[in-house]
Amino acid sequence: MTQKIKAGIIGAAGYTGGETLRLLLNHPYVEVLFAQSRSQAGMPVHTVHADLTGETDMQFCDEVPASADVVFFCMGHGEARKALQEHSFGNARIIDLSQDFRLAANTVCGDRTFVYGLPEINKAKIADAHNIANPGCFATAIQLALLPLAGAGMLTDVHITGITGSTGAGQKLQASSHFSWRHSNIEAYKSLDHQHILEIRETLGSQQKQLPAINFIPWRGDFTRGIYISAQAVCTLSNDEAYNLYDQFYTSARFTTVSRKMVNLKQVVNTNKCILHIETTGDHIVIHAAIDNLLKGAAGQAVQNMNIMFGFNEDAGLKLKATSF
């Protein structure tokens, strides 16, 4: 029987913190030691995360115990580096879900060095790592859509559109996440200037030295969770050749699947899956990718990385089923 590890969450009151807590509470090899939140300290976690009613009597804490084996940072961008400066965290392994340590220039903080946590290309490094920088949500979907082409040195003239649910904006109320604004509405934002482009370029650049521009236009969608992207590039591969390339690249990927049928969000929401679909026309290829932004795009991938780090089955605690109807 595998001995349980002790896990803690900092910033446990937000959407990502809540998803991480839900997964860890149901993980066969994890004991949740603490769920920290300064704003909710002393309150039962189910008062914020109503889906955990009846699941646990745990309360949010303010202080950070030093005895955890792994700590998940579910804080806003810029807060993870501050947390490491304020606390030593002993010998705990750190999995950070912010963007603080994703780029090569920012991977070192004190005596800790972070490994980029995209299991589909970094599994061996993750297994040996003590600290993980979890990828961004849009970055995950786009990288998984384009990595096989980059690996073959065939990435040219890339144009991407993508749409995300309201949970991608976080739990803090904003004008663009208010129901009255979001309902029956779509809006483009950060056109060609999204923050995830930098990490996307670094990851793709590890596969293909000369990269084209990554032209990405994200949209806010009229739904709560999920990301759907369509990436278009110039490519002379036939449909069969493209599928063979993608099948081979992801042959050992536990959660990334290449589908011959068109993918939709309901196939992946509430799971840790990424499903890809390919279309070719003339000298162009389109790769569609769908993920749950809170799971494969955040908490689910973080738990997947934890499983790899501690030598658990990669899918432990992540055998989740989508709700199709």
Least confident of 110-119, 174-183, 215-224, 266-275: 174-183
pLDDT (tens digit per residue) in 285-316: 999 999 999 999 999 999 999 999 999 999 99
Whether pLDDT at 66 is above 80: no
Residue type, 246: Y
Please give the pLDDT value at position 243: 98
Residue-range definition of the domain harbouring residue 249: 137-291
Query: Do 115 and 170 lie in a common domain?
Result: no
pLDDT tens profile 185-229 = 999 999 999 999 999 999 999 999 999 999 999 999 999 999 999
Q: Are residues 73 and 123 in the same domain?
A: yes
Show the tokens assigned to 231. Answer: 């990436």
Using alpha carbons only, what angle is made at residue 310 by residues 4 and 22, rounded to the nearest 5 degrees?
Answer: 60
Q: Are residues 146 and 274 in the same domain?
A: yes
Task: Say whether 56 sits in a helix, a strand or coil.
Answer: coil
At 25, which amino acid appears?
A: L
How confident is the model over 104-123, as a mean pLDDT? Answer: 96
> Is the distance from CB of 277 to CB of 259 less than 8 angstroms?
yes
d(CA 83, CA 138): 25
Share of the chain above pLDDT 70, in %: 97
Does residue 169 have a pLDDT over 70?
no
Q: Is residue 222 part of a domain?
A: yes
Q: Are residues 280 and 239 in the same domain?
A: yes
* Within-domain flag for 120: yes
Question: Any idea what the Cα angle at residue 127 is, between residues 104 and 84, rounded to 5°?
Answer: 50
Which residues, in sequence order, are bridge partners of residue 230?
161, 288
Residue 21 belongs to some domain of the structure: yes
Query: In this structure, what CATH number is given to the domain that contains residue 30?
Result: 3.40.50.720
Rounded to two decimals, the pTM is 0.95
Query: How many Å apart are CA 23 and CA 27, to the nearest integer?
Result: 6
Mean pLDDT for the stretch of residues 82-100: 92
pLDDT per residue as tens digits for the range 115-136: 999 999 999 999 999 999 999 9
Q: Indicate which residue of 74, 137, 235, 274 is catalytic.
A: 137
Tokens at 193, concatenated: 């200037």
Are 16 and 74 a contacting pair, CB within 8 Å?
yes
Residue 319 in domain: no
Answer whether residue 322 is part of any domain: no
137 counts as catalytic: yes
Which helix (H) or strand (E) covers residue 240, if one does? helix 239-249
Whether the CB-CB separation of 39 and 61 falls below 8 Å is answered with: no
Spatial neighbors of 49 by CB under 8 A, at least 6 apart, are 18, 21, 22
- Distance from CA of residue 224 to its chain's centroid? 16
Judgement on whether residues 122 and 180 belong to the same structural domain of the protein: no
Sheet strands side by side (includes 187-188): 187-188, 214-220, 158-164, 227-234, 284-291, 274-281, 256-259
Give the mean model confidence (pLDDT) for residues 89-95. Answer: 94
- Average pLDDT over the chain, rounded to whole? 94
CA distances 323 to 112, 266, 295, Å, are 39, 6, 14
More confident site: 179 or 226: 226
Phi, psi (deg, nearest 5) at residue 28: -70, -20
Domain count, the chain: 2
